[in-house]
Structure 1
């Protein structure tokens, strides 16, 4: 009659997908049911992670087998210490709880392929003297979250290709393609926009495909495996025409994520946009994609831009001589409309106008203060000053996307009896978007001749003797 009735192992799930990642803690219990007491040599639970590859190459001289192995961790928790001789476990059901913390270092995601696998296991093992070992194990699903350059993977990608047609056709064909970023989670949608200029004499069809490439490595040798996950076909493009094609491709919800941190197994993804041309090599643009866990997707992170052509992310490498089409991006097609902007570039606008009647009509020289200069993407965006109502000839309109109209013609007033003197304002006047010129005060004119000009002097009037000579003087002159 056997002594052990059953040995079971269960672990606690941390999420609905029952996945674990770097630094997580495995908790659970091992249940041992005995029909009679036993003497145990050792009893423990073990967690381990291993990667293994193996393939055979056949040739005329025989066959060669290539294999390689990597171990990432091996952790044990003992219920009965190893080396025990007389540890007796009585009859009945016994429950042993365990808690094992996984290493926090970068480790690859669980994977099973044709020529290799990455497996993480939990195993409970009971050893007795002169008896076969009794063990039970369960595989755990490990998902790596080690993506150190995740922010850089949110940059958009732009590619271009050009092909001169061969002897069966004339002219050339050019294609520019763009996608909004590089990293996607399973279940997300990739939007590809392609601008095609078919200046040849051949008809062609745009096509798009998502491919998985797996590379196995052992003893400086490699084994490649390629799988096409999805393939879509666009509308027919006739000769001597231009067309923009938009393709929407969804990443399968169960798709394996990218593996980049394993020495012997790597899993990569490529999105290819190409033109199917009869009797010619197909021009293509290839974009590398990175499949990441769902909780690392941009939608689950704060402060990360999502959607096609985000405005704040840096641009990816581009081999295209032309910017992406405005129609495909949803912006006005004409750059003269004032609202057109390229993806990835910031817009700068003038500050909102502030109208105030509290300032005097004539403003003295404004008080200048130091400007704080903000640099963003190589564009200088100085803090706006408040110019005088007449406007400043040194204000630059190139740093703003809003054009300011010229001021209206000045209004002239009748000359006042005396010029009005206004004190300088204590603060510079507020900024008006299209200020009307303040009223001009003309220079005072000369005094009006409404009184005798002799009354305007302080000297006494001339005496009578000076104005009319006496008769004695006249006689003396006559002699």
Structure 2
């Protein structure tokens, strides 16, 4: 195996509880091979070792383990094929569990750490394993600052330096067609009346890869054509009418992923809260060009 590694999106090494760990598995083989199984996992490991009467003891315990199968024998053969000396790349996403975790720790007597691990099984029984460490920190807010030249739903032309409050859940969203106009779509979701009464913007995040080491992220506000709200008891059904958007093409860069967030800006406040969207259907419908990873 000439190359078998993990690249985390934007080179991140630190995450918060409820965050999404994403990246790519990169494989390059010295000969033609066929993948039988490719599994990515994130796990927290606590290890301790000690001596007693000249005997060495050790104990290892996993306090969480999240796995996802990327390729198996049921996948299409063209997806499983590794061509000689041709890089093969597979994108992945995993959610950090909702829990309280100890910080990373290293000493002569043991360690506590978090790893992203990829296990590759090839036809014929050969197995390869690679890992990459990361950190989980316990924070409720992170600072951010970026600008955007587009206009938002609330006619704001740029972001200001602010406190970005990260939620630990994803909001299920539905993409609905607009009758008589194929250039726009409706994004519908349910939220609490208190959340929906404030100004809401739709944020598009695009991750690009420059090379095997460098990744950059572009944020932009999608200009909404209108907002509709319908209250019903404890929840409010909200629809954002947005145009389908052309993905910007960056020369010599490869598209990794496209994600969407709701940004709530309370009136008379500089604090923004962010809510990642999960889709009942893929977000590709929001993009004029088909998205291929």
TM-score, structure 1 length as denominator?
Answer: 0.26
User: Which structure's CA Rg is the greater one?
Assistant: 1
Q: Which has the higher contact order (CA 8 A, sep 6+)?
A: 2
TM-score, structure 2 length as denominator?
Answer: 0.41
Greater fraction strand: 2
